[in-house]
Amino acid sequence: MLLKLKNKEHLIVDEFKFKCSIGKKGLKSKKKERDNCTPIGVFKIGKVYYRADRIKKPDTILKTKKITKNMGWCDDPYNKNYNKEIILNRKNKGEKFFRKDSTYDILIVIEYNTKKIQPFKGSAIFIHLTKNYKPTQGCIALNKNDLLILLRIIDKNSKIKIC
């Protein structure tokens, strides 16, 4: 199954058309860390993370993982764990999953720069939640209901085409 980001405002999957938001500076084929762009390309869909204290386990056949208080994603290009899940502490800083807002109550990893990771190429590219469709720092954001529907219809072979 192919998810297609079309016209920067909609994610299309079969007959479903989900309103979404993308990076503040649009789409970019040569993404760099902190450029506020969403990467162009075709990418695999990765693991689903969710806040079990706020929502029940999503109905999906994708691999899921509960978010813990010290869980995050490394966005430091100088760290050996760059663009990977990490435990946040004094040595490891990164994108915190356990947030006060609901942005990361559910998120899907987009497998961008996750194999043969290149520092400074960009990290922490997810499909996550939004309430207001404000531009992201490079992710794709959907409302909660749409993300839950998406999780029911995609599988481990699904890919996302961002163009």
Domain ranges (residues) in the chain: 2-162
Q: Which of 160, 51, 147, 39 has its CA nearest to residue 104? A: 51
- Residues 70, 71, 73, 74: is their CA dihedral positive or negative? positive
- Other residues' Cβ atoms within 10 Å of the Cβ of residue 135: 17
Q: Which of 117, 123, 147, 150 has its CA nearest to residue 137? A: 123
Per residue of the chain (163 residues), what is the pLDDT tens digit?
Answer: 899 997 789 999 999 999 999 999 999 999 999 999 999 999 999 999 999 999 999 999 999 999 999 999 999 999 999 999 999 998 888 999 999 999 999 999 999 999 999 999 999 999 999 999 999 999 999 999 999 999 999 999 999 999 9
H helices of 50-141, where? none
Residue that is written with structure tokens 């405002």 in the block: 9
Helix (H, G, I), strand (E, B) or coil at 16: strand
Model-level pTM greater than 0.85? yes
Return the CATH architecture of domain 2-162: Beta Barrel (2.40)
The answer to whether the CB of 102 falls within 8 A of the CB of 89 is: no
The answer to whether the CB of 140 falls within 8 A of the CB of 38 is: yes
Within 8 A by CB and 6+ apart from 80, the residues are none
